[in-house]
Amino acid sequence: MKRILALVFMLTMLMLPAAAEGYAFKVSSPNGAPGIALAVLAAKAPEQYTYVAAEAITAEFASAKADFIIAPINAGAKLYKAGKSAYQLAAVVTWGNLYFASQKENFAPETMNGAKVTLFGENTINAAVALYSLEKNGITPSEVEYLAGAANTQSLLLTDPNAIVLTAEPALTAASMKNEKITAVALNELYKAASGHDGYAQAGLFVNPAAVQAQPEAVAEFLKEAAAAVALCETDVPTVAEAAVAVGVLPNVKVAAKAIPGCALRFVSAQEARPMVEQTASIDLAQFGGALPDDGFYYVPAAEK
């Protein structure tokens, strides 16, 4: 079976479109769910891809060495607003990998009414979207507690049978494989009921305007490759799982294959995604630099200008 999967993986790699000849764009990405988006491309040309800790993404924008950066959209917008980044949003690639989870029997959204809920990342867009979604669905926890990150809430989820936490894929899958009592409610389900949008604008693919100016056609071609790579996250999970493990984004194929469908990975161009970006931003404008991103924040292909 492993040999068959490996063969399928290699064949899929060969079928992906090659980058515009002569242009090897440098791409930076955080580990975890956002890093899965272009994993098949990274596996094909690992020397072009750099994976960093989430807290190092700001430094990637500041250095401006990468041609493309995958990053939280609000982070890119805030830096752009402050004049600390010229990167433009080319596409949204992740649409919410967060889940409310618990070991409680028959856990459901209404379980959170009058209960203590533990979130991670106080004063972040993820927390803001979670609270917005609860409120708009008429769910009022008795107490909201904050921990530093998803690793902390995952630990609480595993050790406290009465805890209700906000966690994220792929951490949720890893926890569920350790404890079969864990069940989850997708934040996206609550968000869709609240906003009408199928997921919120979480992480995006940003392009360096210097790359656009130097090689506009190659940039456009790369974005086509990126769209094809992200599409595989829905149509060919085994191949993406193999690639994600090969580049070190996820720990093993078993976790990867189960987690990827829950990561809400879809490629939507910045122009098409703009209304969803603005809806997300309006929940907590402070997380986007205090205002909706202006026109210059969104990449527009030369053919569309």
Q: What is the pLDDT of residues 160-192, one digit of tens each?
A: 999 999 999 999 999 999 999 999 999 999 999
**Kind of pairing between the strands at 88-94 and 98-102:** unpaired
**How crowded is residue 216: how many other Cβ atoms within 10 Å of its Cβ?**
13
Q: What's the mean pLDDT in 125-138?
A: 97
Answer whether the bond into residue 209 is a cis peptide, omega within 30°. no
68 strand-pairing partners: 27, 207
Q: What's the mean pLDDT in 17-33?
A: 75
Question: How far apart are the C-alpha atoms of 15 and 189, rounded to whole Å?
Answer: 34
First to last CA, the chain: 49
Tell me phi and psi for residue 173, to 5 degrees: -60, -45
Q: What's the mean pLDDT in 120-133?
A: 96
Share of the chain above pLDDT 90, in %: 87
Intervals of CATH 3.40.190.10 along the chain: 2-95+201-294, 98-195
CA angle, corner 205, sides to 253 and 185, nearest 5?
Answer: 55
Spatial strand order of the sheet with 116-120 comes to 143-147, 116-120, 164-168, 98-102, 183-186
Assess whether pLDDT exceeds 80 at residue 8.
Answer: no
The first and second tokens of residue 40, run together, are 């098949």
Question: What pLDDT is recorded for position 4?
Answer: 43
CATH superfamily of 2-95+201-294: Periplasmic binding protein-like II (3.40.190.10)
CB 92 within 8 A of CB 73: yes
CA angle, corner 71, sides to 69 and 72, nearest 5?
Answer: 155
Question: What pLDDT is recorded for position 305?
Answer: 64
Question: What pLDDT is recorded for position 162?
Answer: 97
| pLDDT tens sequence across 251-300 | 899 999 999 999 999 999 999 999 999 999 999 999 999 999 999 999 99
Is the full-model pTM beyond 0.85?
A: yes
Please check whether the domain covering 98-195 is classified as CATH 3.40.190.10.
Answer: yes
Question: How far apart are the C-alpha atoms of 227 and 221, rounded to whole Å?
Answer: 10
Assess whether pLDDT exceeds 80 at residue 5.
Answer: no
Mean pLDDT of the chain: 92
